[in-house]
Amino acid sequence: MDWQAIWLSLRLASATTAILLVLGVALAYWIAFSNRRWKFLVEAVVAMPLILPPTVLGFYLLLALGPRSPIGAFYARITGGMLPFSFGGLLIASVLYSLPFTVQPVAAAFAAVDRKLIEASWCLGVSRAATFRRVIVPLARAGIGAGAVLTFAHTMGEFGVVLMVGGNIAGVTRTVSISIYDQVQALDYDAAWRTSLALLAFSFAALALTYALQRGAAGKRRWGLWPAN
Amino acid sequence: MAGELICRCCKRFASGFTIDADWLLPVGSAPVTVLFGPSGAGKTTLLRLIAGLERPDSGSIVFRGEEWLGARSLEPQQRRAGFLFQEYALFPHLTAEANVGFGARAPARAERLIQAFELDKLRAHFPRQLSGGQQQRVALARALAADPALLLLDEPLSALDAASRMRTRQDLRRMLLESHVPSIVVTHDRAEAIALGDWIAVMIDGAIRQTGPVRDVFRRPVDPRVAESLGVENILPAEIVARHAGLLTVAVGQCRLECVDGGESGAVLACIRAEDVAVTREGRLDSSARNHVAGMVREASIEGPLARIEIDCGFPLMAVITAQSAAELDLKVGEQVFAVVKATNVHLVSENR
Number of domains in chain A: 1
What residues make up the domain containing A145? 3-32+52-218
Testing the interface with A: which of B77, B84, B85, B140 to mutate, by most A Cβ within 10 A? B77
Per-residue pLDDT at B161: 82
- Please answer yes or no on whether A123 and B142 come within 8 Å at the CB atom: no
- CATH number of the structural domain spanning residue B223: 3.40.50.300
What is the mean pLDDT of the segment spanning B278-284?
79
Per-residue pLDDT at A222: 43
Distance between CA B234 and CA B349 in Å, rounded? 12
What is the mean pLDDT of the segment spanning A32-42?
91
What is the mean pLDDT of the segment spanning A136-142?
93
Residue B353 pLDDT level (bands cut at 50, 70, 90)? very low
Q: Is B98 inside any structural domain? A: no
Per-residue pLDDT at B343: 85
Number of domains in chain B: 2
Over residues B119-169, the pLDDT tens digits come to: 999 999 999 999 988 999 999 999 999 999 999 999 998 888 877 887 788
What is the mean pLDDT of the segment spanning B328-344?
86
Task: Give yes or no for residue A221 having a pLDDT over 50.
Answer: no
Contact residues, chain B, for A122 at CB < 8 Å: 52-53, 75-77
Same domain, B253 and B316: yes
Task: Give yes or no for residue B1 having a pLDDT over 80.
Answer: no
Per-residue pLDDT at B201: 93
Task: Give yes or no for residue A194 having a pLDDT over 70.
Answer: yes
Residue B284 pLDDT level (bands cut at 50, 70, 90)? low
Same domain, B193 and B245: no
Question: Which of B192, B227, B262 finishes a domain?
Answer: B227
Same domain, B68 and B187: yes
Per-residue pLDDT at B271: 86
Per-residue pLDDT at B286: 58
Q: Is A220 on the interface with B (CB under 8 A)?
A: no
Per-residue pLDDT at A224: 39
Residue B269 pLDDT level (bands cut at 50, 70, 90)? confident
- CATH number of the structural domain spanning residue A127: 1.10.3720.10
Contact residues, chain B, for A142 at CB < 8 Å: none
Same domain, B199 and B61: yes
Residues 25-64 of B with CB under 8 A from A: 51-53
Give the best-scoring range by mean pLDDT among A106-120, A200-214, B288-302.
Answer: A106-120
Contact residues, chain B, for A224 at CB < 8 Å: none
Q: Is B63 inside any structural domain? A: yes
Closest Cα in chain B, distance from residue A112 (Å): 13
Q: How high is the mean pLDDT of chain B?
A: 87
Q: Is B110 inside any structural domain? A: no
**Is B305 buried (19+), middle (13-18) or exposed (0-12) by CB count in 10 A?**
exposed
Per-residue pLDDT at B185: 94
Same domain, B289 and B333: yes
Q: What angle is formed at CA B300 by the lines to CA B297 and CA B305, rounded to 5 degrees?
A: 140
Closest Cα in chain A, distance from residue B3 (Å): 21
Q: Is B139 inside any structural domain? A: no
Q: Is A147 inside any structural domain? A: yes
Which of A114, A123, A221 shows the shortest C-beta gap to B81? A123
Contact residues, chain B, for A222 at CB < 8 Å: 92, 128
Per-residue pLDDT at B289: 53
What residues make up the domain containing B344? 232-350
Over residues B50-73, the pLDDT tens digits come to: 999 999 999 999 999 889 998 888
Per-residue pLDDT at B130: 93
What is the mean pLDDT of the segment spanning B70-81?
90
DSSP three-state, residue B101: helix
Over residues A156-184, the pLDDT tens digits come to: 888 888 888 888 888 888 888 888 998 99
Over residues A84-104, the pLDDT tens digits come to: 888 888 999 999 999 999 999
DSSP string, B177-195: HHHT--EEEEE--HHHHHH
Same domain, B184 and B283: no
Closest Cα in chain A, distance from residue B294 (Å): 55
Residue B171 pLDDT level (bands cut at 50, 70, 90)? confident
**Is B9 buried (19+), middle (13-18) or exposed (0-12) by CB count in 10 A?**
buried
Percent of chain B past pLDDT 70, that is, above it, reads 96
- Cα B321 to Cα A85, A195, B301, B304: the distances in Å are 92, 87, 11, 11
- Beta-carbon contacts of A20 under 8 Å, excluding residues fewer than 6 positions away, are A95, A98, A99, A101, A102, A147, A148, A151
Task: Give yes or no for residue A223 having a pLDDT over 60.
Answer: no
Residue B352 pLDDT level (bands cut at 50, 70, 90)? low
Same domain, B246 and B171: no
Over residues A42-74, the pLDDT tens digits come to: 999 999 998 999 889 989 988 888 888 888 888
Same domain, B219 and B273: no
Per-residue pLDDT at B26: 84
Same domain, B183 and B34: yes
Q: Is B222 inside any structural domain? A: yes
